[in-house]
Structure 1
Amino acid sequence: MTIVGYARVSTREQNPESQAAELSAAGAGKVYVDHGESSRIANRPEWIACLDYLREGDTLVIRALDRIAGTERMAIETIRELGERGVKLSSLTEPFLDIDATTPMGEAIIGIMAVLAQLRVSTIRENTRRGLEHARAQGRIGGRPSVMTAERIETARKLRTENKSYPQIAAILGVSVSTVRRAVTRGLENSL
């Protein structure tokens, strides 16, 4: 009987260390971690490895249900599959998951919790979308600032009129070819 942990973060920029530390503190001797993987995709590399590792009598500990499943259907199927394999599921933030998912009552409770997890994910998406729309309305655009300053764009245009190729201009400016092409093309479109 082994306690196994599973952690997941949706983007490469996020750090899963706090999740992994919480799972280890909860007794997980082995923790699988997926970076930059959506919970809506079942074939996450570390998730597959975790499922392969689990044996009857083991406990899978997670921080929250949305770490393993991004939809209600996925959550119910995953919990049911784990239960049929004799693997107990334990959530650090949802203690009611420590139930027998193979019984009708257990299945109903899991279904309710899966719906709530889906609601949380959908709410986050909706809030993000609204926030981005508001920022755009204020004239702000997300993402990193461009490396192509007004001076660099002017230099790139001048070099293009001197028949320099995009790769040559990119080497001179120390940026990528696609960055130069985008900046020069955007400038031409705006001047028409």
Structure 2
Amino acid sequence: MSRIGYARVSTIDQDLETQIAKLKAEGCGIIRSEKVSGASRDGRAELATIIDFLRPGDELVVTRLDRLGRDTRDVLNLIHECEQREAFVTVLDPHVSTRGEMGHIVLTVLGMVAQMERRFIKERQLEGIEQAKRKGIYRGGTPRLDYQRVAELVRANIPVSEIAKTMKCSRMQVYRILKRPSLQRGPVE
């Protein structure tokens, strides 16, 4: 029987160390981690690896339920897959395990609450953005690419594919930037 820890954060600039430390303190001999959104299971290779290698009696340990996923159905499907392999799921905060029948009920309710909370957060965020737009103070998110640098490279007749390599982005992102009214000019392929 192995205790396998799984740590996840949504973005590259977030830190996994706190989760990893908690999982180590819980006696997880193996800890897999990744920096990817929990909105769906797509692209979560480390989680898939854990599920594939679970044996009867093993235990998948996470610090919080939302580390497994943000959608109740996804979380319940994941728990079901673990059970099919005769393995358990344990959440540290609050401490709940699928070892007992009550754990299943609590995890289901927690999953539903987490999903509902996520919807409320999105609604409040959208309301705040709309209010800021009405006041004329909303500027949108911070651009991840330097639009002026892209424009300079275009003016220097650098092909879009080369600009994408230089800027470490996709060609589609370059084309989107070039569609901006302030940067209108035909790209060179």
TM-score normalised by length of structure 1: 0.69
Q: Tell me the residue number matched to 1:122.
A: 119
CA contact (8 A) 2:72 2:108 kept: yes
1:83-122 aligned at under 5 Å gives the runs 83-95=83-95, 97-100=96-99, 103=101, 105-122=102-119
Which structure has the bigger radius of gyration?
A: 1
Q: Over residues 102-136 of structure 1, what are the superposed CA-to-partner deviations in whole Å (9 max), with x where a residue is unaligned?
A: x4x54433321211121232233333333443444
Residue type of the partner of 2:118?
A: V
Q: Over residues 32-56 of structure 1, what are the superposed CA-to-partner deviations in whole Å (9 max), with x where a residue is unaligned?
A: 1121233422552111111122211
Q: Which runs of 5+ in 2 are unaligned?
A: 168-173
Give the alignment's Cα RMSD to 1 decimal: 3.4
Q: Which runs of 5+ in 1 are unaligned?
A: 160-164, 187-192
CA contact (8 A) 1:10 1:37 kept: yes
> SS in structure 2 opposite 1:7?
strand
Q: Tell me the residue number matched to 1:144.
A: 143
Name the stretch that deviates more: 3-12 or 175-184: 175-184
Distance 1:181 1:4, change over 3 A: same
Q: Tell me the residue number matched to 2:154.
A: 166
Distance 1:86 1:146, change over 3 A: closer
- Would you identify which runs of 4 or more consecutive aligned residues in structure 1 move more than 6 Å? 174-177
In 2: Cα distance, 1:83 partner to 1:144 partner: 44
In 2: Cα distance, 1:26 partner to 1:64 partner: 13
TM-score normalised by length of structure 2: 0.70
Q: Over residues 128-164 of structure 1, what are the superposed CA-to-partner deviations in whole Å (9 max), with x where a residue is unaligned?
A: 3334434444142221387467xx9xxx7xx9xxxxx
State how many pairs are aligned.
169
Name the stretch that deviates more: 13-22 or 52-61: 13-22
Q: Over residues 23-75 of structure 1, what are the superposed CA-to-partner deviations in whole Å (9 max), with x where a residue is unaligned?
A: 12221121111212334225521111111222111111101111112211222
Q: Tell me the residue number matched to 1:17.
A: 17
CA contact (8 A) 1:34 1:44 kept: yes
In 2: Cα distance, 1:43 partner to 1:148 partner: 29
Name the stretch that deviates more: 83-92 or 124-133: 124-133
> SS in structure 2 opposite 1:57?
coil
Distance 1:75 1:36, change over 3 A: closer
Residue type of the partner of 2:184?
A: T
Q: Tell me the residue number matched to 2:184.
A: 185
CA contact (8 A) 1:39 1:68 kept: no
